[in-house]
Amino acid sequence: MVARVACLPANFSAGAAGAAFPVYSAPGVDAVGAGGTAFATAWPGTISGVYCANPNGLLWLYYLCGATAGGVTQVLVGETVGATGQVLPATTETYTIALSTSGWLGPWSPSTYNQTPNAPNLTYSGAVNATALVAAAAGCVVVDFTATTTLCVRFYTTNAIFP
């Protein structure tokens, strides 16, 4: 099965529970933004993805990969190209997650990376995840993976600080 998991971010500025980078336990997604060490939501398939609302550009994705490489990762660029209504290919923002690594992707500019309300009608050429975007992906960053066998991910948000 190929699908995407809707996620809520953990608040990285919330102290120990939010700011803890977990160690690898079992593959999964922190879909509820619980923070800590839980990755309670199982991946819906080997080729899967995640999406999360990104209202202010303070969103980023932490990943932790076990003994099997995470494969190719694609961050879908939601901004349309001029007046064409088309989006850039899915291969525009591509990364490789190596085995036994951790790191982060983002943060992302909402004007460039957030999906538009037209998201369900968009086609991303070269996409590793052929699942159509759902209407709920509008206003969200979408990240897809080719291998989730030992992959854990969590979205984080930080608080804006003004002088």
pTM: 0.92
pLDDT value of position 41: 87
Residue 99 burial by Cβ neighbours in a 10 Å radius (0-12, 13-18, 19+): middle
pLDDT value of position 15: 67
Nearest CA to 132 among 76, 80, 88? 76
> How many whole angstroms separate alpha carbon 137 and alpha carbon 150?
25
Where do the structural domains in the chain lie, given as residue ranges?
3-157
pLDDT value of position 16: 62
Tokens of 135: 């209407």
> How many whole angstroms separate alpha carbon 36 and alpha carbon 104?
16
Q: Residues 32-47: pLDDT tens digits?
A: 887 777 788 888 877 7
Reading the chain (163 residues) residue by residue, the pLDDT tens digits are: 568 999 999 888 876 655 667 777 778 888 888 777 778 888 887 778 999 999 999 999 999 999 989 899 999 999 999 888 889 999 999 999 999 999 999 999 999 999 999 888 888 999 999 889 999 999 999 999 999 999 999 999 988 877 7
